[in-house]
Structure 1
Amino acid sequence: MTQNTEHKKLIKTARITGVWYLLMAITGILGFMVYHSQIFVSGNPEQTLANLVELESKARIRLLLEFAIVISQALTAVWFFKLFKDNYEWEAWTLGIWGIVNALVILISAISIASAIGIANSDLGAMEDKVLLIQMLHHIISNAWGIGGLFFGLWLFPMGYIVIKSERMPIWLGRVIVLGGIGYVISTFIRYSGIEFSFNKYLMLPATIGEFWMIGYLLIFGMRSNDIINKKNLK
């Protein structure tokens, strides 16, 4: 296989990775940031229960979006492994495994959402019991996403490291991604330590920038060829 053919194959893998990553981002925004608050009302399990019954179709859309997040996250992790495994096997394994852990964390949330819909629309149990169960499940969903921030951040470390080390993508892309991973982990620790820090949510901003930059680069450029890297190093 010629070098040019290998690079074309690499670009194809990179762009497929970008497609899965983009799908994960879109379903995450729609599911967690758009639909979630329309169904699950923080601190009000009675209203959440009413929403799960009266807006059952919308609640099921929320659930299906969670399925889509799990699937796209898992496929993104697998394709990142495929993309990097030939030259950075250990880091690629770390990236893939931690990405799969992300999918499993979100799967816990999906199971809880499905359980909440089932309980809310069942004929069994008193209303008070349903409210308590819905409240418990809502806490599980919130904490799956909250504590999941540990691995949402950790999987960015090997991703950023490979980008910096390989030079097949902009070095600052790798640095921003690593910074985003640090921000996610620190933000999670601060949130669960009980410390009041009004700027905590901004710690995850580098991760958002880095991940969308990564998606765009994968889809538009794929990966730099060895020729480009060699010319860059000769300067």
Structure 2
Amino acid sequence: MAYLGLAISGMLSFLVFRGHLHVPGDATRTAANLVAHEGLARLGIVTDIAVVLTQTVTAVAFWKLFRPVHPVAAGSIAAFGLVNAVVILVATAGSATALDVALRADTTSAGDALLLYDLNAAALSLAGLFFGLWLIPMGWLAGRSGYMPRPLGWILIGGGIGYILSVLLASLTSDDPSAVYALTVPATIGELWMVGYLLIKGVADDAVADGRPPTSRKMALT
């Protein structure tokens, strides 16, 4: 359930809240949006905190799930997931401060709020690097485990590589954001497949221990 919560809170944060508040390059509109939609901005902050919490729980749960398959690779999932959560937390501090600054409504608040949101966006972009790094060992372990579909593992690995490349491409150019988003599509497919697999089919305790196909007894990420 933690992984489902991560997926939902992540989509809400990206699709619903951030795009309605931050106007890149326009300090006046960004500050006006924050003041006019204070409630939406605060919900966005809460949603980002939910991303941090669910990312943390999911990272630890994946370590527990995959530790019998390969403890070092499982530990890398936890490590990259926890670092990603910390980076998102730093980004959230930026957006929360931007709201406070915008509400101050003095002569410098608009420019300061935009700068803080720009820093928020930069931190979230860099968080994608660690998100990609956590998908690669996850995919490798899923394929190696014997109780998850091998194609799922390959898609997760491809998604992780795509995320890393998207961060590099975004750092090199901002002219074609569609190419950056296209590189993240495999990761979205792989994560939705993993969430659905764990919720619908699950993984049995005995399969985790022995590397056998799952039985009727399920172990879910909680």
Partner of residue 76 from structure 1, selected from 58, 68, 77: 58
1:43 Cα deviation from its structure 2 partner:
2.0
- In structure 2, the partner of 1:46 is 28
- In structure 1, the partner of 2:203 is 223
Q: Counterparts of 2:161 and 2:180 in 1: how far apart (Å)?
A: 12
Residue deviations 1:8-33, cap 9 Å, x none? xxxxxxxxxxx111111111111121
Q: Counterparts of 2:31 and 2:136 in 1: how far apart (Å)?
A: 39
1:196 Cα deviation from its structure 2 partner:
4.5
Alignment of 1:106 onto 2:106: no
Corresponding residue SS for 2:184: helix
Partner of residue 161 from structure 1, selected from 110, 117, 140: 140
1:195 Cα deviation from its structure 2 partner:
7.1
Contact map agreement 2:147 2:212 (CA 8 A) in 1:
no
- In structure 1, the partner of 2:180 is 200
Corresponding residue SS for 2:65: helix
Corresponding residue SS for 2:90: helix
- In structure 2, the partner of 1:25 is 7
Q: What TM-score, normalized to structure 1?
A: 0.84
Q: Counterparts of 2:29 and 2:94 in 1: how far apart (Å)?
A: 17
Q: What TM-score, normalized to structure 2?
A: 0.88
Alignment of 1:142 onto 2:127: no
Corresponding residue SS for 1:222: coil
Alignment of 1:92 onto 2:74: yes
Contact map agreement 2:146 2:212 (CA 8 A) in 1:
no
1:61 Cα deviation from its structure 2 partner:
0.5
Q: Counterparts of 2:69 and 2:134 in 1: how far apart (Å)?
A: 18
Structure with greater Cα Rg: 1
The CA RMSD over aligned residues, in Å, is 1.6
Where do 5+ consecutive residues of structure 2 fail to align? Answer: 215-222
Where do 5+ consecutive residues of structure 1 fail to align? Answer: 1-18, 230-235
Partner of residue 151 from structure 1, selected from 127, 130, 138: 130
Q: Counterparts of 1:227 and 1:84 in 2: how far apart (Å)?
A: 13
Contact map agreement 2:98 2:114 (CA 8 A) in 1:
no
Residue deviations 1:157-196, cap 9 Å, x none? 1101101111210000000000000101111111102274
- In structure 2, the partner of 1:56 is 38
The 5-angstrom pairing of residues 180-199 of structure 1 reads 180-194=159-173, 196-197=175-176, 198-199=178-179
Q: Counterparts of 1:175 and 1:75 in 2: how far apart (Å)?
A: 24
Residue deviations 1:129-184, cap 9 Å, x none? 11221121111111111121111100011101101111210000000000000101
Q: Report % sequence identity.
A: 38
